[in-house]
Amino acid sequence: MTVGETYRPLVGVFWMLVTGACFVAVNALVKFLGGRIPAAEAAFLRYILGIVFLLPMIRPILNARLSKRQLGLFSLRGLVHTLGVVCWFYAMSQIPLAEVTAMGYLTPVYVTIGAALFLGETLAVRRILAVVIALVGVVIILRPGFRELSPGHVAMLFTALFFSVGYLTAKKLTDEVSPVVVVGMLSITVTIGLAPLALAVWVMPTFWELCILFAVACFATAGHYTMTLAFAAAPVTVTQPVTFLQLVWAVLLGWAVFGESVDIWVMLGGLLIISAISFITWREAVLKRRQLTPNVNATKG
């Protein structure tokens, strides 16, 4: 955190707990929706029903006067995020809630690898080891050779990959435009990207299904907002480990509501992945502090 910001770890942990509850609610609602509505249509309806949250972002987007290059990057992010959202909605209808949640932790791991390959960031030995541990966690969850892997598992692998490309693109854009523009353009481009996919497989939704998808949009928006509150109150190194509780809630919810068995291997694999992510986050925070702290020979102003 920068000088002058208030360090409130308990507040940060609280808001991250609320964030986890919101995202688990999103997962549960999509799971409850079932597979009657095709994944592309369900994703499109979730975004189009959440358009009300986009209205305050219209003016900042218009005032940003985006260049052709920026519009191209936003289009790329919208494309990969569209594919990721469709894969995620499909996975939710195919595999247990806990497995979707656990495999979703892969995105920061992909981001770490992608930042080294495409953004020139250094991938030190410790970070390589953390990535390897995270991948071991994925193998523990999937257990290839010991059980049949469903298309839902493959979809989640691609979900994390597509989202990681989107996050890397967003990382470049946040250096040039405001976060409001980044979030708003994502909603616009994904809605446009999902429209033809949804129309190709359209099934008339019921009023109840529309209510569920609107609730998904509300919880997703609330989750992103409370996440920003968590980051404002405490460093990511404090709030990141709390995200593992999302897996605990998902396991309990899947067992209590959807009759899914509690898989200890999914919990173990998820713990390895989130531990690796927390270590990577901690190392990045340490390196940033070293860069911000002048050495003893530095000239004092």
- Per-residue pLDDT reduced to its tens digit, 156-212: 999 999 998 988 888 788 778 887 888 889 889 999 999 999 999 999 999 999 999
The predicted model scores a pTM of: 0.81
Say if CB 41 and CB 203 are below 8 A apart: yes
pLDDT by residue for the chain (301 residues), tens digit each?
444 445 577 888 888 889 888 988 998 898 888 878 999 999 999 999 888 888 888 888 888 888 999 999 999 999 999 999 999 999 988 888 889 888 888 888 888 888 777 767 777 787 788 888 888 988 888 887 677 788 999 999 999 999 989 888 887 887 788 878 888 898 899 999 999 999 999 999 999 999 999 999 899 888 878 877 886 777 666 676 777 788 888 888 888 888 888 888 888 998 888 888 888 777 666 666 655 444 434 434 4
Q: DSSP H helical segments within the chain, as ranges? A: 9-33, 39-49, 58-63, 68-92, 97-104, 106-118, 125-142, 151-173, 179-200, 207-233, 236-239, 245-257, 264-292
Map out the domains of the chain as residue ranges.
9-290
Q: What is the DSSP letter of 147?
A: B
- Per-residue pLDDT reduced to its tens digit, 108-118: 888 888 877 77
